[in-house]
Amino acid sequence: MVSGEVVVIEILIYWLISAVVIVAIDFYAKKKLGKESLGYLSLRIPKFVTVTIISVLSIVIILYTRWNDISVEAMSFIGVPYLGLWFFYVVINFRRVRAERSEKYRD
């Protein structure tokens, strides 16, 4: 069994890495699309969804570990939802950038 303190530290690390990934990809999209473009403004919803799910997931895991210990086997899978959400956010942003650029060159 893994103690709650170890899990909390790992969750905080995942949360900080998530913030860095989201800010970096958001900066890239803002730079490529322009701050006031409709393509960039449409990326606010996936950003909100990603940040909300990551925050709620972190809170739920921290509250769960407050009263229960997590097995070592389960501990190895804690990062999977974070990886999935990072992948979701990166794919959504790069697809939007590619779509806006191809539309720009088509005109």
Domain range annotation of the chain: 4-106
67's CB contacts (< 8 A; 6+ apart) are none
Q: Using alpha carbons, list the distances in angstroms from residue 13 to 1, 5, 34, 49, 72.
A: 20, 12, 31, 20, 18
Q: How far apart are the first and last CA of the chain?
A: 60
C-alpha 8/C-alpha 73 separation (Å) is 16
Rounded-to-integer distance, Cα 13 and Cα 62, Å: 13
**pLDDT by residue (tens digit) across 14-54?**
999 999 999 999 999 999 888 888 888 889 999 999 999 99
pTM exceeding 0.85: no
